[in-house]
Chain A
């Protein structure tokens, strides 16, 4: 029995990841603030792939609970993925510090808090893998979502450092940078079809990259080049154009 721990399991991307890993032989911990709505998915995984899908309560913002949360998992997961995230509303967050703080804490501080605990354990075990879903929004700040983007930038930097540190302990750290994905988060937005992935595509990309021992992936893949170009635009032009 090898378990994957999914943090933020109610996210559409997380649900697809759960099925992808169960299909490939993993049992799953579905961790979320409210686990009631995850009952159908856990039953589904059980019937479809004949794998366990246990639901566990987890709140990224309740930092103090994180150690006890991880201790309570038995057996321990051999890998973890964080799909926690919150876009917030940029205009509100820039005028209301509490809102900005919540965005930063959800997208960065909470993830750091729990992943630190797991990383320490994996380092000792000398095995395990850690997947963080960051975002292309962390590659360059834009006026429409830079508070979210700055938290994702911090998360990306954190994952990069962690990868460095855990390399010797044989622990893989994978940074996932989705572009646009068709999920609850982007509901109602008019997204360009060619650049928008379905959660199932993202899940497949993640599984493949993790199995291959990759470090950083963009999904859809063309986002790597889109972001390369966006990052190259000189600041003087960028501030006028975007």
Chain B
């Protein structure tokens, strides 16, 4: 068995170990934990991998306060299947449900409600972390705080998260009332985000092909949990991409999709299922194959709020003028960040764009990096496969605290990913 990540780039031969109690007696080091491989790049890759996915037991559930205790290999999709019908939903969820709870903590993932609910670690009551020396540390916002702050967003570099207690939120319906707002340019897009900021969920799809005064044209989707209706939940898989597509199909696919939606809606309201609202892409299994056999990557950064407008104008302009890659990009306004050493979200606009891996793409990223840095931005490790150390470091003021923590607990030589070696954490 060889494990890859979502972008299928890079690909590295690896030996896979299931997590077991005596693992560290036999495990060749360094190694890195691996959940469901939904990170895009090399966060969960190395020659030795600790696979957690078989540890997927629910351990207890408190019906009074919604606290779920489960092993770290549980997928968010499993939580939805079991708990939505009982009237509970994830308090924070990313754009795919096929990730493990361990992966959600390690990347401190964010969802469409970041501006209201913060990131995944906000919903974590506690977790148990197994260090490479076999010691088990129980961490929470109060206990072993330094371990908590290093591990949430720490990309598997502090130990193996064994199990965790997370807080689910009560829901009355498995539907979302969604409003879609159409804008013509970035200014309108920003205004729309401000206008609808009291909605719990919000995210925008930006058309990256539009140029000039239409730069930043978008469909903003905001939503609230419905109060009425039933509590049913079905995994909605529409179809599966059977093999790697020839890469030219992609352009037509996403351009058509956006235009279809853009020209068929003005401001529309509708009631849709949780899956269609939160996980539209999950309905197409293996959609990464649309990008062809060389793989894909995502370029995601966040700019401080006050500099977001100018910075995004410049970046979107550059992307449109070079006509590279991504046609659809996802834009989101983050609320305040937290104190974890390496958590990505910080107040401002975050943009995420998919690119297929092709010649010269990395040079193009180098150019974009300069703009992001110029405007004081930072990059998201969970999506990354290439960011140079010098660029990465500048976005994270607590990076030295993280490095010192790793050193103090002798984690440097034992837990490493291709990514951690590259960015020097």
Q: What residues make up the interface of A, taking CB atoms closer than 8 Å to B?
A: 12, 40-41, 43-44, 47-48, 182, 187
> Which of A44, A182, A187 has the largest count of B CB atoms less than 10 A from its CB?
A44
Question: In the complex, are the beta carbons of A40 and B1 less than 8 A apart?
Answer: no
Q: Which residue of B lies closest to A49 (CB)?
A: B82
* Whole-angstrom CA separation of A182 from B59 in the bound complex: 25
Separation in Å of the B8 CB from the closest CB of chain A?
A: 16
* Whole-angstrom CA separation of A48 from B60 in the bound complex: 10
New A-B pairs, 12, CB < 8 Å, besides A12-B54, A43-B59, A43-B60: A40-B59, A40-B71, A41-B57, A43-B57, A44-B56, A44-B57, A44-B58, A47-B58, A47-B59, A47-B82, A182-B1, A187-B18
CB of B61 within 8 Å of the partner chain: yes
| Known pairs A40-B59, A41-B57; A48 contacts B71 (CB<8 A) | no
Separation in Å of the B167 CB from the closest CB of chain A?
A: 16
Closest 8 CB pairs of A and B: A44-B57, A40-B57, A47-B58, A44-B58, A43-B59, A47-B61, A48-B82, A48-B58
Separation in Å of the B286 CB from the closest CB of chain A?
A: 15
A residues within 8 A CB of B71?
Answer: 40
**Interface hits, B44-91 → A, CB 8 Å:** 54, 56-61, 71, 82
A-B contact pairs, 22 of them (CB 8 A): A12-B54, A40-B57, A40-B59, A40-B71, A41-B57, A43-B57, A43-B58, A43-B59, A43-B60, A44-B56, A44-B57, A44-B58, A44-B59, A47-B58, A47-B59, A47-B60, A47-B61, A47-B82, A48-B58, A48-B82, A182-B1, A187-B18
B residues within 8 A CB of A43?
Answer: 57-60
Separation in Å of the B61 CB from the closest CB of chain A?
A: 5
B residues within 8 A CB of A187?
Answer: 18
* Whole-angstrom CA separation of A48 from B58 in the bound complex: 7
Query: Is chain B's interface secondary structure helix, strand, loop, or mixed overall?
Result: strand
B residues within 8 A CB of A12?
Answer: 54
> Which of B18, B59, B71 has the largest count of A CB atoms less than 10 A from its CB?
B59
Q: Which residue of B lies closest to A40 (CB)?
A: B57
Separation in Å of the B325 CB from the closest CB of chain A?
A: 31
B residues within 8 A CB of A40?
Answer: 57, 59, 71
* Whole-angstrom CA separation of A187 from B57 in the bound complex: 21
A residues within 8 A CB of B57?
Answer: 40-41, 43-44
* Whole-angstrom CA separation of A187 from B26 in the bound complex: 14
* Whole-angstrom CA separation of A41 from B70 in the bound complex: 11
Q: Which residue of A lies closest to B21 (CB)?
A: A37
* Whole-angstrom CA separation of A114 from B71 in the bound complex: 34
Q: What residues make up the interface of B, taking CB atoms closer than 8 Å to A?
A: 1, 18, 54, 56-61, 71, 82
Q: Which residue of B lies closest to A187 (CB)?
A: B18
Q: Which residue of B lies closest to A182 (CB)?
A: B1
Separation in Å of the B62 CB from the closest CB of chain A?
A: 11
B residues within 8 A CB of A182?
Answer: 1
* Whole-angstrom CA separation of A74 from B88 in the bound complex: 35
Separation in Å of the B399 CB from the closest CB of chain A?
A: 36
A residues within 8 A CB of B56?
Answer: 44
Q: Which residue of B lies closest to A46 (CB)?
A: B58
A residues within 8 A CB of B1?
Answer: 182
Q: Which residue of A lies closest to B82 (CB)?
A: A48
* Whole-angstrom CA separation of A216 from B18 in the bound complex: 32
A residues within 8 A CB of B82?
Answer: 47-48
Separation in Å of the B236 CB from the closest CB of chain A?
A: 19
A residues within 8 A CB of B18?
Answer: 187
* Whole-angstrom CA separation of A41 from B59 in the bound complex: 8
A residues within 8 A CB of B60?
Answer: 43, 47
Separation in Å of the A20 CB from the closest CB of chain B?
A: 14
* Whole-angstrom CA separation of A48 from B75 in the bound complex: 13
A residues within 8 A CB of B54?
Answer: 12
B residues within 8 A CB of A44?
Answer: 56-59
* Whole-angstrom CA separation of A144 from B173 in the bound complex: 57
Separation in Å of the B340 CB from the closest CB of chain A?
A: 28
* Whole-angstrom CA separation of A41 from B73 in the bound complex: 13
Q: Which residue of A lies closest to B163 (CB)?
A: A40
* Whole-angstrom CA separation of A47 from B83 in the bound complex: 10
* Whole-angstrom CA separation of A233 from B58 in the bound complex: 48
Separation in Å of the B357 CB from the closest CB of chain A?
A: 24
B residues within 8 A CB of A47?
Answer: 58-61, 82
Q: Which residue of B lies closest to A41 (CB)?
A: B57
* Whole-angstrom CA separation of A61 from B57 in the bound complex: 29
Separation in Å of the A38 CB from the closest CB of chain B?
A: 10
Q: Which residue of B lies closest to A184 (CB)?
A: B18
> Which of B54, B57, B61 has the largest count of A CB atoms less than 10 A from its CB?
B57
Q: Which residue of A lies closest to B1 (CB)?
A: A182
* Whole-angstrom CA separation of A182 from B3 in the bound complex: 14
* Whole-angstrom CA separation of A12 from B20 in the bound complex: 13
Q: Which residue of B lies closest to A196 (CB)?
A: B1
A residues within 8 A CB of B61?
Answer: 47
* Whole-angstrom CA separation of A47 from B1 in the bound complex: 31
* Whole-angstrom CA separation of A12 from B61 in the bound complex: 24
* Whole-angstrom CA separation of A56 from B150 in the bound complex: 41
A residues within 8 A CB of B59?
Answer: 40, 43-44, 47
> Which of A41, A47, A48, A187 has the largest count of B CB atoms less than 10 A from its CB?
A47
Q: Which residue of A lies closest to B55 (CB)?
A: A40
B residues within 8 A CB of A48?
Answer: 58, 82
* Whole-angstrom CA separation of A182 from B53 in the bound complex: 13
* Whole-angstrom CA separation of A154 from B82 in the bound complex: 42
Q: Which residue of B lies closest to A12 (CB)?
A: B54
Separation in Å of the B235 CB from the closest CB of chain A?
A: 14
Separation in Å of the B144 CB from the closest CB of chain A?
A: 23
* Whole-angstrom CA separation of A163 from B58 in the bound complex: 38
* Whole-angstrom CA separation of A12 from B53 in the bound complex: 13
Separation in Å of the A50 CB from the closest CB of chain B?
A: 10
* Whole-angstrom CA separation of A47 from B86 in the bound complex: 11
Separation in Å of the B70 CB from the closest CB of chain A?
A: 8
